[in-house]
Amino acid sequence: MTPAETEATPEAPDTKVEVPVLRMREALRDALAEEMERDEDVFLMGEDVGVFQGAFKVSEGLLDRFGERRVRDTPISENTFVGAGVGAAMAGLRPVVELMTVNFSLLALDQIVNHAAAIPYMFNGNVRVPMVIRMPGGGGHQLGPTHSHSFEALYLQIPGLLVACPTTPADGKALLKAAIRDDNPVIFIEHESLYGLKGEVPEGDRIQRFGEAAIRREGSDVTIVGILKMAHVAAKAAEELSGKHGIEAEVIDPRTLRPLDLDTILESVKKTNRAVIVEEGWPHGGVGANLSTLITEQAFDYLDAPVQRVTGADVHMPYSRRMEQAAMPHEENVIQAVLAATEGSR
């Protein structure tokens, strides 16, 4: 036997662990099921969450698993069942209230703004409202102007509410678990176009803390902040910018808008000296307007160009597919904004 053969050691077995790949709706369902198993005070209520198994099938199988006591179909009366959720949370339960679309939350604004958000303050912290209000939203499905809203900016404005906007299945699960365990009311906005999105979702009790942005792509020339589905649009635009224009964009996904991880955004802007904000909502008073102001106020000396904003059109969402697509931001809109921000720098 040669010395090399003598000293040889057996090859280590392949210990690579396969990470499950789930769709967003499946990841959210797993989060609900795990939290309901973990805590008997957690229950789900809303329109068609039981027998129909959810308008977007997020709650599929939960009624059979947990029964009618903890998966409760409600009447089509948002102010009523959101108000019931507020009362249940005040009494010590942890309701997850599902609205069929974000548009219908307008019918429960009194319960959300004047009660869920304000009660802890009005009771001097002696009463908490630990509830999650899940809202599917966004355009692109030819559902017309009353079923296609992006209301992130509306709820971002209200003190007392936390606002989550997950963009990947892994973050959807981890953020929803964190939201259910939080003692504050959480507005949990899910983009309808992302329910079928597939992604790796690590097993185990992973919690994603609120207020921690994700850097989806590193770059040195411009910072692009994408909200919800627009984080994916921004990432695709960044790849094209790199390949066709030699511009390396850093893409940031805030994941939560309240609390907002402004530090990560500002550090990126200080590195790239340029910023583009991409959102699906309307331009006036939007998330981008808020972020643009914060960046300008706190990183003005680092900016080599004005902050650019890419938003949905300032119109009611059309029903016509062509017009609807024209009203929504796309990769080419992001690319144009980046080129405007970097003009003369290369």
> What is the distance between the alpha carbons of residues 87 and 306, in angstroms, rounded to a whole number?
46
> What is the distance between the alpha carbons of residues 98 and 157, in angstroms, rounded to a whole number?
21
**105 Cβ neighbours under 8 A, 6+ residues apart:** 78, 82, 99, 112, 133, 135, 151
> What is the distance between the alpha carbons of residues 295 and 268, in angstroms, rounded to a whole number?
11
**197 Cβ neighbours under 8 A, 6+ residues apart:** 23, 24, 168, 169, 232
Specify the 3-state DSSP secondary structure of 134.
strand
User: Residue for token digits 């319960």?
Assistant: 111
Is 11 designated active site? Answer: no
* % helix, strand, coil for the chain, step of 5: 40, 15, 40
Residue 291, burial from CB neighbour count under 10 angstroms (0-12, 13-18, 19+): buried
Is 267 designated active site? Answer: no
- Which residue among the candidates 26, 35, 47, 78 is catalytic per the annotation? 78
Measured at the alpha carbon of residue 264, what is the angle toward residues 235 and 193, in degrees to the nearest 5? 35
> What is the distance between the alpha carbons of residues 338 and 346, in angstroms, rounded to a whole number?
12
- Which residue among the candidates 147, 149, 191, 232 is catalytic per the annotation? 147
Instruction: Decide if 127 contacts 90 (C-beta within 8 A).
Output: yes
83: its two tokens: 């108000």
> What is the distance between the alpha carbons of residues 56 and 101, in angstroms, rounded to a whole number?
10
CA atoms within a 13 Å half-sphere pointing along the CA-CB vector of 11: 3
Instruction: Decide if 160 contacts 118 (C-beta within 8 A).
Output: yes
Instruction: Decide if 215 contacts 268 (C-beta within 8 A).
Output: yes
81: its two tokens: 């069942």
Residues with a known catalytic role: 78, 147
